[in-house]
Structure 1
């Protein structure tokens, strides 16, 4: 073979490799899939009542806002008006059940869906769960194009996915990308192990489906991570198995009931792994056990490391909390714990969690276990480092505040440290529960707080 033939062969090989690389990097063609699944996706139009403050803020001239900011007296005679919002939803059954997001239909006075043939149908909100951001809708009729539900366990990082929704009201817009990560917990939330993708989502996509390559729904598009308010490459979807668990409860009970173990937890880091003689950072460390809780009755102790939940390994605290969130109350669970460098199995019977206490790391349940008002907060005890930083001998940290609850109405915020209620010192979560239990309706409690290092007093109105 002469040199010219060799060169031709080399060029042919190079071109073949280049063509293969171009083909491999070409975007996935979702055109047939979009045509197949689009009928099962709908646009959602929601009518909500505007608060007096929202109405006034829209009507006050900008020049007044510059001088007076938002501290403007709202005329009492001004009546709330309505505003419209939009989102997406999709059919999960042929008899008219649809999935969407809680935040899409929250405070709705009217919900209407628009099908891909432009028909508009009034929808009823069967139930809604704020913690998972899942809502269930129902329309009258039958033979709707229900979408197939996929298996989340078969979804892998790197696989192509497709979203269909109504960003900014542009209905039936499709966007595609890949799965960036699974079991992603955001900003301390542990009720949902989000699917992270790089699919372009924008306002209006909320509540729409996330599809795999087989046209099966694997997620409910929920939110984005953004520093500007627009899409920045980080989108998050609720796994469809989590959403369907919520749907089952909403159908049966109209609300979601969660289980309660009664422990404070933290992740195992490198130093703790070495201290507990673990080969790598894994498991979930119990830092506190609530008295008279299922954990206390089962014999769990502070310092135990939970390694397995019903034989499933626990890599981090989020794994354990996700399992707990998926387990019904009254179930008996098996926990493999590491105590004194030795494994042991402990059985615990879960109970029902209070409605206003998110199941999150460090949150203290039982805020409604005694008589007293429901404030709508989740709390935890201060760590030793926090006590030192705030120069306090105790107190409780507000981890979460339920929108519209008594605490939120009195401007108590996440991050506040409560040190006294009506002159009673609050150093532990139990002190907090005791103080709250004694509050009477139609009174205002004096709540001493530390906010961003500054001491302050808040009037907590009990209604």
Structure 2
């Protein structure tokens, strides 16, 4: 054998030996045909009709001010007109006797709901219940011996795993798209109770409410939203984990509504700087920045500055985890809440109250800007960029606090961390502020690059701001 052939043979052997074990498997794409044939029968098309009433002026607006048309306007009052709005979505059958799961936004405010099966049969559907917070709805049609989708578990889903979406994008029934799980536990704005599954399976308007399958043919999610700047699919879609959806559907079926727990606190994300100021090695947990008076947390002894680490033994990695964990529990349940306070762990038992839709949150309370005191006692902390004044008793009473320092001017380090004129400093770390000397002592103790967590009242909401005291200041 020639030298060239020996070298080529050795190089080929090296590639075969050193290459990853899964390289050959990666070249084989999954076959979705069996899943579509077996599970696609349980996917349905949902169409809704809503009656919209609107007011129409008898005289067109472009003739406003014209004396001739103004004469007729007096004797031709605005008229009410009705029109029908129709929308499309998807869903899937979860019981042979006609229960169907879909998105809440698909059937919201619908006067009439029609479900079309894969065999083209149509049924009028009854709304059993819907939950806007998780975007899950349960419907019932009068039918029997229906094909049923097999429910899996989203907890076992892995990032990178193949998934399959079936639905009716733009009204094209039983359309099939595939992709992989891009991420798990995604938090979206104004969506506090769902750890979304992110996928790159093509999802478009009309796919909402349809199932997301794994390669076993099990439903692992409900397709709910897309991220788009154009209105169409851009490679990012979100699904509700089926574990969350099933719990919601069970409550809707048995009670017609969803009951959620609450403890009456406002929380914020824990940054590395804030974590360091409280003596935590890592920014894991949810920082309590205010506690509702006489609420469950207040009665249990929780307070602003506590950092929630675990709820009923389940870790709280970020502030987004806390509403999900608390909200998934029933009111009246005693819950063990592990917190970090004064550089030590402790466990507090809180009895959950019920979350009411009409109950205003702490963040929604009215705030009145404190007026300038007649004879304020100033506090100039130019080293950190703060000019402060004490609030008068009348201002303290109006704001519902015992003591506070109003920020009049801000610059330097304080400005860089986001403090602004009009903020009121009400606490240092987990301790309520009682006088300016307490603030000065905390800042002195944090010299040479240390961080102080200032509890600030801003437009009726309290939050913690990490202020780093620069070395030599």
**TM superposition score category, shorter chain reference:** 0.7 to 0.9
The aligned counterpart of 1:315 is 317
The aligned counterpart of 1:302 is 304
Whole-angstrom CA distance in 2 between matches of 1:240 and 1:165: 16
Cα offsets for 1:229-255 (capped at 9, x unmatched): 111111001111111111111112211
Q: How does 1:280-295 map to 2 (within 5 A)?
A: 280-295=282-297
TM-score scaled by length of structure 1: 0.72
**For 1:252, what is the secondary structure of its paired residue?**
helix
The aligned counterpart of 2:112 is 110
Cα offsets for 1:129-153 (capped at 9, x unmatched): 1111111000112111111111111
The aligned counterpart of 2:44 is 42
RMSD between superposed Cα atoms in Å = 3.4
Whole-angstrom CA distance in 2 between matches of 1:390 and 1:210: 49
Contact 1:264 1:364 in 2 (8 A): no
Whole-angstrom CA distance in 1 between matches of 2:268 and 2:348: 19
Matched, 1:3 2:19: no
Contact 1:220 1:237 in 2 (8 A): yes
Mark the CA change 1:267 to 1:388 in structure 2 (over 3 Å): closer, same or farther: closer
Q: How does 1:22-421 map to 2 (within 5 A)?
A: 24-52=26-54, 76-357=78-359, 363=363, 389=420, 391=422
Whole-angstrom CA distance in 2 between matches of 1:311 and 1:78: 57
Q: Give the paired residue count.
A: 369
Whole-angstrom CA distance in 1 between matches of 2:8 and 2:418: 75
Cα offsets for 1:316-352 (capped at 9, x unmatched): 1111111011101111100111111111110000011
| Deviation at residue 20 of structure 1 after TM alignment | 8.0
Whole-angstrom CA distance in 1 between matches of 2:360 and 2:156: 29
| Deviation at residue 27 of structure 1 after TM alignment | 3.4
Mark the CA change 1:32 to 1:10 in structure 2 (over 3 Å): closer, same or farther: farther
Task: For structure 1, list consecutive stretches of 5 or more residues without a partner in the other structure.
Answer: 65-72, 366-380, 395-425, 431-463
Whole-angstrom CA distance in 1 between matches of 2:37 and 2:14: 37
Whole-angstrom CA distance in 1 between matches of 2:276 and 2:109: 50
Contact 1:182 1:196 in 2 (8 A): yes
| Deviation at residue 188 of structure 1 after TM alignment | 3.8
| Deviation at residue 2 of structure 1 after TM alignment | 2.9
**For 2:79, what is the secondary structure of its paired residue?**
coil
TM-score scaled by length of structure 2: 0.71
Whole-angstrom CA distance in 2 between matches of 1:389 and 1:8: 70
Whole-angstrom CA distance in 1 between matches of 2:27 and 2:364: 49
Whole-angstrom CA distance in 2 between matches of 1:160 and 1:388: 46
Contact 2:280 2:343 in 1 (8 A): no
Task: For structure 2, list consecutive stretches of 5 or more residues without a partner in the other structure.
Answer: 64-72, 366-400, 408-414, 426-457, 463-473
| Deviation at residue 357 of structure 1 after TM alignment | 5.0
The aligned counterpart of 1:458 is none
**For 2:250, what is the secondary structure of its paired residue?**
helix
**For 1:36, what is the secondary structure of its paired residue?**
helix
Contact 1:97 1:136 in 2 (8 A): yes
| Deviation at residue 279 of structure 1 after TM alignment | 2.0
